[in-house]
Structure 1
């Protein structure tokens, strides 16, 4: 394996260039990233998981399901050791590792680099658009590992990889609630394989024994999912999150907008799979039909599910292409007189020989040295116009003045305010929608939007400090009728503080 890496092939060079580019262009501005980082810091500092919420004043002490604690600890340790560049490297490595695994699967199933590259290149925009310093990255990699083990079982008869899946599950269940989709993948695959075996006119006893081993591995995976601080409680958590009505207003739970380029690529990949299967000489079996359809359907329901869908679609699309006339067309093109004449005369491989790898390494060094510098220069120009995190100035002001206590804020800003101001200030809300619940978030949205009953609901919060975007409806209402005054303002945010007389009057009431 090490020798193959040292001999930097064209494929590895492409991956290296993509890695450097993604690390260079990636922004650490995802709102949830900041509270994940702060949570990891808290766990490392205290050597234990918090018993209840420690970041908000509206849910202080309430039970908090830390289903992502292991990833948060890893995230903080990487940040503490290598800073922002370390976090970016971690995220890109996880994303490209998942993509690399499905590319390897696609190559094995199609027996062709060319047919494997087609779905991978179409799927790449979807995965790249999902790169963020969040626990979902761990789910992408673990999901790809599960898929690789199952496809190796189906198409290569390998059983040993199945019994590594419980160990992966122990990491997964403590790193992200997406572990449930791994169990769903395994169960769906096992059911389809059993049904396929039962439908055979002549049932192979050897195949039955293999299916029994698959079932044993699935049972072990389910048991391994109990290796978490909440045990059985963690089984209910994914269903509680999926059942929240507030998901209807959270962007990542919305259906994809097919005007968006990654969504167009996702649609193209689904259409390619459909067309390839229609014209395939051998039609898909139940497993080859059910798995892509199930995950493609979920990807159409929510943007959050699209990366998992493309991880499934890539290998099955490559397999369908290999069974379709497209493979014959590629073989005919490669065997045509013109291509053979060119390949016979180009002589590049023979002239360079091992020197080709040296040339690839030289190109890799140029990319590593020049590309980040170029991207950084472009980013500095863009950042001068619009900062990556617009609330930085307001947070700096609050920290410099030593302000703290109960802080009313916009939903998307809670994570950064936790990162910058906790424990001296506690936020009203942040991206942990499951912690706050549907009813609280509905009340909060009415207050933030300035509904008719905003004032009594706001007073129940008891906040004496607010940091809000300039276009927030509640900002003008607080200035006009709630005894707040503006103590800071920039191009994007304002900090409001309740006047001392108004604060005393409220306390007296």
Structure 2
């Protein structure tokens, strides 16, 4: 009886929601639709402006070691295969798999310092949001298109950090659009699109997702056209070409293809904030899009292709398991979801680009380059404090916490640890986290083991409080962000 009652409730609720869902009044136009072309251009322009001027991209210490790696590649005209930076792991095997992004960052830095790096990332975001807006206005009325792009921005903005993943956003969006257009037009993607792998595979490890997407849409095409061997052959050729480029167009060969899987199995991910589980009450943007997605699938379940339902469910599960996968959920999930909202209506032709979009975007970038960039120091980047350390002391082994290793690499100091947890490994990363939390006995052991002569620490962590009382150590300098200690014996 309970089941019958529940089914009846669902049918009544769905009937109420779908009451106006007829060809005549489905997505009735409103006044915003008259400005669709302008809105499609204004949204990415607005978000690019926010990233260039309002959002601080340099809140993550990893930016520092990415710049350090880029300088190493440019100086040596080679990609490092062993650790060239730390004093704790010299010569250990290291795969600098994001070397191309790091070289781009260094090129921007050479042009105009922090301001040009900001422009580099704002440009990537502008192209990403332009693609999202373009697809949104193809499939949705203006009010829903604006909402969809705003939801994507709400999820992506917490991840707007000057690191390679943000440069990969545009490639992820472009790749997904290419695959979706191929399926929409019942053809295979053009072989030329596989060349994106030459950039993506050297830019960021997220390129591995591209093969899962291509395989899923190829399977969907096969199910829909089981006897079209010519179409299947084109999909296979596209996938094999992309795979060959990804494997052999990098300095690392086939080993590089396995790297993302090896990192995802690390135990140390549990203590790295971006690998935390998503929290629905905390990650509001993610929660909002998840609710929308569930609602659309519930209302359109009869027309949702099974493989796309599995894709959306898989993206949601990945995002729930690790917060960093919310970026995949926002970009890929939204692009896959939007055609499902009104499957009975054919997508509209892309709106023509407004003439003022590109000139205004270039004006925003020119203004960002012209206005001196005011770098905001924080606990991961106590650059003024570090400048007080004498050169002879900088050359000595240092203890630093995980988030401060990147800035040390950037200024030429060999860190104890930095954001390359994949190289340091689980045991060492856990040990460093325990020491920073206040394990003074492990700290003493590593002082002896590595000959540590000084330490830079955030003011609020456990080790800072212990070193204020530790014999043989004295406070050298402090500001509101961090403290520097010097060994006296």
TM-score, normalised with respect to structure 1: 0.79
Aligned equivalent of 2:475: 486
1:314 match? 334
Structure whose CA Rg is larger: 1
3-state SS of 2:474 partner: strand
1:86 deviates by 1.3
Of 376, 385, 388, the residue aligned with 1:394 is 385
**What is the root-mean-square deviation of aligned Cα atoms in Å?**
3.2
On the 8 A contact 1:34/1:415 being kept in 2, the answer is yes
1:209 aligns with 2:230: yes
Asked if the contact 2:438/2:463 (under 8 Å) is kept, the reply is yes
Deviation at 1:112, TM superposition (A): 4.2
1:5 equivalent in structure 2: none
Corresponding residue number in structure 2 for 1:252? 274
- Match for residue 330 of structure 1? none
Q: Cα offset for 1:81?
A: 1.1
Contact in 2 for aligned 1:103/1:315 (Cα 8 Å): no
Are residues 310 and 245 of structure 1, via their aligned partners in 2, closer, same or farther at CA, if it must alter by over 3 Å?
same
Answering whether residue 426 of structure 2 is matched by residue 438 of structure 1, we say: yes
> Residue 135 of structure 1: CA displacement?
0.9
Show the counterpart of 2:297. Answer: 277
- Give structure 1 stretches of 5+ with no counterpart: 1-7, 198-202, 328-356, 503-509
Q: How far did 1:190 drift?
A: 2.3
The answer (yes or no) to whether the contact 1:106–1:316 under 8 Å persists in 2 is no
Ranges in structure 2 where 5+ consecutive residues have no aligned partner: 1-36, 346-353
SS in 2 for 1:164: helix
TM-score (norm 2): 0.82
Alignment check: 8 A CA contact 1:446 1:453 kept: no
Q: Name whichever of 90-99 and 297-306 sits farther off.
A: 90-99
Check conservation: 1:99, 1:311, Cα contact below 8 A: no
Aligned equivalent of 1:180:
208
Q: How does 1:55-454 map to 2 (within 5 A)?
A: 55-108=85-138, 110=139, 112-159=141-188, 161-194=189-222, 196-197=223-224, 205-206=227-228, 208-226=229-247, 227-260=249-282, 263-280=283-300, 282-323=302-343, 387=378, 391-398=382-389, 403-420=394-411, 422=412, 425-451=413-439, 453-454=441-442
Greater share of helix residues, 1 or 2?
1
Q: Secondary structure at the match of 2:120?
A: helix
Cα distance in structure 2, aligned partners of 1:63 and 1:462: 23
How far has the Cα of 1:456 moved from its partner? 2.3
The Cα shift of 1:210 comes to 1.6
Deviations 1:147-172 (A, max 9, x none): 1111011102343x441232111111
Q: What residue in structure 2 maps to residue 23 of structure 1?
A: 52
Does 2:72 correspond to 1:42?
yes
- After superposition, the Cα gap between the structure-2 partners of 1:192 and 1:395, relative to the gap in structure 1 and judged at 3 Å, is same
Separation in 1 of the partners of 2:410 and 2:333? 37
Local SS of the residue matching 1:270: helix
CA distance in 2, matches of 1:443, 1:402: 24
User: Does the C-alpha gap of structure 1 residues 186 and 140 become closer, same or farther in structure 2, counting only changes over 3 Å?
Assistant: same
Deviations 1:423-465, CA, capped at 9 Å, x for gaps? xx31100101011000111222233233374222442232111
Partner of 1:467: 456
**2:29 matched to 1:9?**
no
Relative to structure 1, the CA distance from residue 166 to residue 250 in structure 2 (aligned partners, 3 Å threshold; closer, same or farther) is: same
Taking the aligned partners of 2:275 and 2:157, their CA distance within structure 1 comes to 18
Q: Are the structure 2 counterparts of residues 111 and 123 from structure 1 closer, same or farther at C-alpha, using a change threshold of 3 Å? A: closer
Instruction: Using the TM superposition, give the Cα deviation of residue 248 of structure 1 relative to its aligned residue in structure 2, in angstroms.
Output: 0.6
Q: SS in structure 2 opposite 1:9?
A: helix
